[in-house]
């Protein structure tokens, strides 16, 4: 079976030691407590869209620590209670939009998407950070774990799920989360940091096992960090320390909900061993779908598999 990484037999057993810092648990307990205590100030703005039996809204809510986070919300017409899904997007992209979200909403599942702060959607990033960064988001705030970009994104993602869960028409016991690549990593983190999800569907997830990712990945966002360290070798230790707090491998043991992961063995952006390193630390009900001939790509068969699993679990 082809792989750009380890042979599949080794991947199935690959479980490197966690790289958590001593204060890892308290770091996230405090962050999520602050995220949940901060008012959401959510706003739904009706959006004219020609869809039968579905209401469409632009959504805005306060980001973790300030600014406004943007996204979309589609709900079936009626009072509910409806199951819901929160969707997260890929690196430097934007959240799914109404036409992307319509298939689930039209089948009775309310859907909310989130634009990651500062990326190509409409969400604001108002952090004040120390020092410069490599272009992109991978090293933004990397000198201080409390300022690091993905600490804020993960907290925003938990808050987005709260926006959905607290809606009067939503059944908070029937919630799923999903995303592709960066969105898959955010899905893993949200599943670890929130007790809300019943089901998580991370697809070809990013943000797993930073030490190995930086050592072997030839393409995509991970090399932004190694390029940063070429110019700032004096910051190598603090960079790896900061990354350890947002590493989904370190968060994976906290996941309690049912989880279905997809992994492509020819992926040179999110290498298969990095995905296995998180997956093999999970003790929840889990399943991995392996695609031996695919690179970092969205696969129809995987999209249909996720749709079927969501319908089966959420029972709209």
- Active site includes 267? yes
pTM of the full structure: 0.97
Predicted pLDDT at 2: 60
Residues 6 or more apart in contact with residue 297 via CB below 8 angstroms:
204, 264
Distance CA 108, CA 76 (A): 6
Range of the domain at 256: 8-126+148-207+248-314
Q: Is residue 115 part of a domain?
A: yes
- Active site includes 277? no
Q: In terms of DSSP bridges, do strands 170-180 and 199-203 run parallel, antiparallel, or are they unpaired?
A: parallel
Predicted pLDDT at 4: 84
Predicted pLDDT at 1: 53
Give the CA radius of gyration of the chain.
19
Contact 286, 309 (CB under 8 A): no
pLDDT tens profile 49-72: 999 999 999 999 999 999 999 999
Q: Is residue 47 part of a domain?
A: yes
Q: How many folded domains does the chain comprise? A: 1
CA dihedral 14, 194, 207, 240 (to 10 degrees): -90
Q: Mean pLDDT of residues grouped by 10 in the chain (316 residues)?
A: 83 98 98 98 97 97 98 95 98 97 97 98 94 94 97 98 98 98 98 98 98 95 97 97 98 98 97 98 98 96 97 96
Q: Is residue 132 part of a domain?
A: no
Q: Is residue 121 part of a domain?
A: yes
Kindly name the residue from 62, 134, 296, 302 that is annotated as catalytic: 296
CATH no. for residue 107?
A: 3.40.50.1820
Q: Is residue 215 part of a domain?
A: no
Q: How far is residue 31 from each of residues 65, 98, 152, measured CA to CA in Å?
A: 10, 31, 9
Kindly name the residue from 181, 194, 244, 262 that is annotated as catalytic: 181
Q: Is residue 143 part of a domain?
A: no
The percent of residues above 90 in pLDDT, for the chain, comes to: 97
Collapse the DSSP code of 44 into the 3-class scheme (helix H, G, I; strand E, B; otherwise coil) and give the result.
strand
Q: How far is residue 133 from each of residues 206, 225, 310, measured CA to CA in Å?
A: 20, 9, 39
Among 223, 214, 205, which Cα is nearest to 90's? 205
Kindly name the residue from 267, 273, 281, 294 that is annotated as catalytic: 267
CA dihedral 206, 209, 213, 214 (to 10 degrees): 120
Q: Is residue 100 part of a domain?
A: yes
| 242 backbone dihedrals φ, ψ, rounded to 5° | -60, -45
Q: Is residue 116 part of a domain?
A: yes
Distance CA 263, CA 270 (A): 9
Q: Among the residues of 71-197, which ranges form H helices? A: 98-105, 149-165, 182-193
Residues 6 or more apart in contact with residue 314 via CB below 8 angstroms:
83, 85, 109, 174, 175, 176, 198, 199
């Amino acid at each position: 079976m082809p792989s750009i990484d380890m042979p599949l037999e080794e991947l199935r057993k690959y479980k490197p030691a966690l790289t958590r810092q001593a204060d890892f648990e308290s770091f996230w307990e405090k962050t999520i407590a602050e995220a949940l205590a901060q008012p959401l100030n959510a706003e739904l703005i009706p959006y004219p869209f020609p869809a039968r039996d579905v209401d469409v809204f632009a959504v805005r809510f306060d980001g973790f620590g300030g600014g406004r986070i943007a996204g979309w919300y589609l709900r079936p017409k009626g009072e509910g209670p409806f199951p819901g899904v929160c969707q997260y997007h890929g690196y430097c992209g934007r959240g799914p939009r109404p036409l992307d979200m319509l298939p689930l909403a039209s089948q009775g599942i309310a859907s909310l998407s989130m634009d990651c702060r500062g990326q190509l959607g409409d969400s604001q990033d108002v952090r004040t950070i120390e020092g410069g960064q490599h272009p992109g988001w991978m090293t933004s705030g990397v000198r201080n774990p409390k300022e690091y970009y993905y600490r804020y994104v993960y907290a925003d993602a938990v808050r987005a799920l709260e926006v959905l869960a607290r809606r009067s028409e939503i059944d908070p016991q029937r919630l799923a989360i999903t995303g592709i690549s960066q969105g898959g990593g955010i899905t893993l983190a949200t599943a670890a940091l929130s007790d809300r999800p019943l089901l998580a569907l991370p697809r070809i997830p990013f943000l797993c096992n930073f030490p190995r990712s930086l050592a072997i990945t030839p393409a995509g966002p991970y090399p932004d960090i190694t390029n940063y360290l070429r110019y700032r070798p004096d910051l190598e230790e603090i960079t790896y320390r900061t990354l350890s707090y947002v590493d989904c491998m370190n968060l994976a043991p906290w996941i309690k909900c049912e989880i279905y992961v997809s992994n492509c063995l020819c992926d040179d952006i999110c290498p298969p061993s990095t995905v296995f390193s998180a997956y093999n630390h999970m003790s929840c009900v889990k399943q991995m779908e392996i695609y031996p001939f695919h690179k970092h790509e969205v696969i129809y068969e995987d999209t249909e598999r996720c749709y079927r699993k969501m319908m089966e679990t959420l029972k709209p």
